[in-house]
Amino acid sequence: MAKKGTFNSPFFGNFATRLHGTPVRFGILLGQRVEASLGDVVLAAVTPQVPKEDGEAPPIKDVATLLKSQQGDSSFANWAAQHIDSLSKLVPGGIVPLGCFVVASEATVKDLAPQLVPPMRNLIDPLVLSIDPSSRKTSWLQLNTGPKPALRQAQMKPEAYKEHLLLWTTTEVDVMLPFDGSLPHDGADTAELVEQTSRFVDEDLRKRCCCVLSSSQVVDFASEAHVSAIAAKGPEDLRIGFLRSGTVRSGGSEIGCRVRATIAASVLILRRNVEFRHAVEQLRKEVAKTATERVQVALDDCPGELGGKRLDLPWRSFHMPQDLELPLWFGDYCMKDEERAEGRERLGFFLGAQPDMLEQAPDHLDEQKILTAKHPGTYGPEPADVKPKHASNPTEDMQDPGPPKGPIAACVGIAVLIVAVAIPLLR
């Protein structure tokens, strides 16, 4: 039996109309990969054209020419693959690139199958959405990336995902890694430090007790209860707490490099007929993943020697497209000398949206505000009338911030590179 999939009908219902008259010709489809399915496509992000060294150039309006274009040492195919890699880092938990959209007739797109393989080379069974620029007719196709690339019809049906549920958490991560005050100098040592961060954070989270703070439930991970049994109809989000022991996870060395961060993460469940323990497992993996990405960004930004034995990790700026009806909070890492607007601008570039069309996450998921309140002096000047907490009392530092005030939402962030040029983006 042929695989089937779904797409977010509220978003894609008018997507072709939004693109009409713009220079956009290519972009990435984002969604959730489902076992024995083509996946659930929830969003599309425009891929900007390759930047020119001597300034902005007129956009290429012919998609065949665009896919074959090259500027200097960078081809559009490699540029698009890099864009996919960047999107993979800034999306919320459980969201992955599933394919691409192409603004061209179905017949034209089928002829372009060999040119679509290089940008999609790292994706599994990629989907292709064809958008006719004249009639605005859309067609869902599946790309065969084998020796003889070809496109065939894909069985995709519209869905509104009205039973979605957002699991989110804000938790503290405090890890001692077996490195001294000197940063690793080669790629192998850096990769080892990053990998150890992921492993230690994941192990630490697995040892904690998980609690549904929104309803004061303690989760039994031996239970096979579905999400629908934990979350009654009506609530659209649940706050999850990973209860701490108050100890610092050690990498096995008395002299090490300490990494600490306030982690905000989320996972969107499109259907509630999945086991709750599996949903929480996704959230746990997302916390470990973003901790790892923070370490990588901090190492890339650090000039050389550490000022001490502590590596300051970046905070995240979280936003969501205003026209997206699903609670997907995208994020970018910001260093301590950056403001939220800089992260929003980078997100706008990679999501194909004007920065002013990105909605900011609520206060209780604003990492910068949480850090300012709980750890004054971590970013920016320390307030004169606030006495900092003693570093030897990690238990006090890591206590839960308490129930949030205002609407509950969630976010997930990720590191992206600053790109110096921009293209006309979608509204």
pLDDT digits (tens, 9 = 90+) for 177-197: 776 555 555 566 778 878 888
Position 375 pLDDT exceeds 80: no
The total of other beta-carbon atoms located within 10 Å of residue 48's CB is 22
Asked if the structure places residue 108 within a domain, the reply is yes
Give the per-residue pLDDT at 186.
57
Average pLDDT (412-419) is 27
Structure confidence by residue, pLDDT tens digits, 147-169: 899 999 999 999 999 999 999 99
- Which residue shows structure tokens 């096979």? 224
Higher per-residue pLDDT: 373 or 91: 91
Give the per-residue pLDDT at 367.
85
Check whether residue 138 and residue 195 sit in a common domain. Answer: no
Q: For residue 337, give both structure tokens.
A: 């000398």
Taking a C-beta distance cutoff of 8 angstroms, is the pair 266, 412 a contact?
Answer: yes
Position 307 pLDDT exceeds 70: no
Asked if the structure places residue 414 within a domain, the reply is no
Check whether residue 103 and residue 16 sit in a common domain. Answer: yes
Last residue of a domain, one of 124, 159, 194: 159
Give the per-residue pLDDT at 408.
23
Asked if the structure places residue 409 within a domain, the reply is no
55: confidence class by pLDDT, cuts 50, 70, 90: low
Last residue of a domain, one of 159, 180, 206: 159
Position 213 pLDDT exceeds 50: yes
Asked if the structure places residue 262 within a domain, the reply is yes
Average pLDDT (26-34) is 94
Check whether residue 116 and residue 184 sit in a common domain. Answer: no
Asked if the structure places residue 422 within a domain, the reply is no
Position 410 pLDDT exceeds 50: no
Structure confidence by residue, pLDDT tens digits, 92-129: 898 999 999 999 999 999 999 999 999 998 898 899 99
Residue type, 10: P
426: confidence class by pLDDT, cuts 50, 70, 90: very low
Check whether residue 367 and residue 223 sit in a common domain. Answer: yes
Q: Give the CA count within 13 Å in the CB-facing half-sphere of 85.
A: 11
Check whether residue 69 and residue 214 sit in a common domain. Answer: no
- Total count of residues recorded for the chain: 427
Position 231 pLDDT exceeds 90: no
Structure confidence by residue, pLDDT tens digits, 33-46: 988 899 999 999 99
Q: For residue 32, give both structure tokens.
A: 């959730």
Average pLDDT (53-70) is 80
Q: Highest-confidence range of 179-183, 237-241, 360-364, 394-398, by mean pLDDT?
A: 237-241
Check whether residue 213 and residue 328 sit in a common domain. Answer: yes
Q: What angle do CA 341, 347, 351 make, to 5 degrees?
A: 145
Taking a C-beta distance cutoff of 8 angstroms, is the pair 280, 219 a contact?
Answer: yes
Average pLDDT (294-307) is 75
Instruction: Tell me the C-alpha distance between 176 and 162, whole Å.
Output: 43
Position 387 pLDDT exceeds 60: no
Average pLDDT (381-410) is 35
Instruction: Tell me the C-alpha distance between 268 and 330, whole Å.
Output: 12
Instruction: Tell me the C-alpha distance between 114 and 107, whole Å.
Output: 14
Average pLDDT (140-145) is 95
Position 73 pLDDT exceeds 80: no
Instruction: Tell me the C-alpha distance between 290 and 287, whole Å.
Output: 5
Average pLDDT (381-393) is 39
Give the per-residue pLDDT at 306.
58
Q: Give the CA count within 13 Å in the CB-facing half-sphere of 320.
A: 17
Average pLDDT (248-266) is 70
Last residue of a domain, one of 120, 139, 159: 159
The pTM (predicted TM-score) of the whole model is 0.82
Question: Which residues fall within 8 angstroms of residue 351, CB to CB, at 6 or more apart?
Answer: 45, 46, 321, 330, 358
Measured distance between the N- and C-terminal CA atoms of the chain, rounded to whole angstroms: 39
Q: For residue 283, give both structure tokens.
A: 């959230």
Instruction: Tell me the C-alpha distance between 88 and 415, whole Å.
Output: 10
Question: Which residues fall within 8 angstroms of residue 392, CB to CB, at 6 or more apart?
Answer: none
Average confidence score pLDDT of the chain = 79
Instruction: Tell me the C-alpha distance between 287 and 209, whole Å.
Output: 15
Taking a C-beta distance cutoff of 8 angstroms, is the pair 259, 311 a contact?
Answer: yes
Taking a C-beta distance cutoff of 8 angstroms, is the pair 266, 92 a contact?
Answer: yes
Check whether residue 129 and residue 191 sit in a common domain. Answer: no
398: confidence class by pLDDT, cuts 50, 70, 90: very low
Check whether residue 15 and residue 63 sit in a common domain. Answer: yes
Give the per-residue pLDDT at 32.
95
Asked if the structure places residue 416 within a domain, the reply is no
Asked if the structure places residue 283 within a domain, the reply is yes
Instruction: Tell me the C-alpha distance between 67 and 119, whole Å.
Output: 9
Crossing angle (nearest 10°) for helices 187-207 and 276-301: 150
Check whether residue 176 and residue 197 sit in a common domain. Answer: yes
Question: CA nearest 239: which of 231, 251, 228, 249?
Answer: 231
423: confidence class by pLDDT, cuts 50, 70, 90: very low
144 forms bridges with which residues in the sheet? 150
Average pLDDT (217-246) is 77
Domain span at residue 390 reads 165-397
Give the per-residue pLDDT at 399.
35
Check whether residue 64 and residue 118 sit in a common domain. Answer: yes
Domain total for the chain?
A: 2
Q: Do strands 358-360 and 70-71 pair parallel, antiparallel, or not at all (unpaired)?
A: unpaired
Check whether residue 64 and residue 135 sit in a common domain. Answer: yes
Asked if the structure places residue 182 within a domain, the reply is yes
Check whether residue 205 and residue 129 sit in a common domain. Answer: no
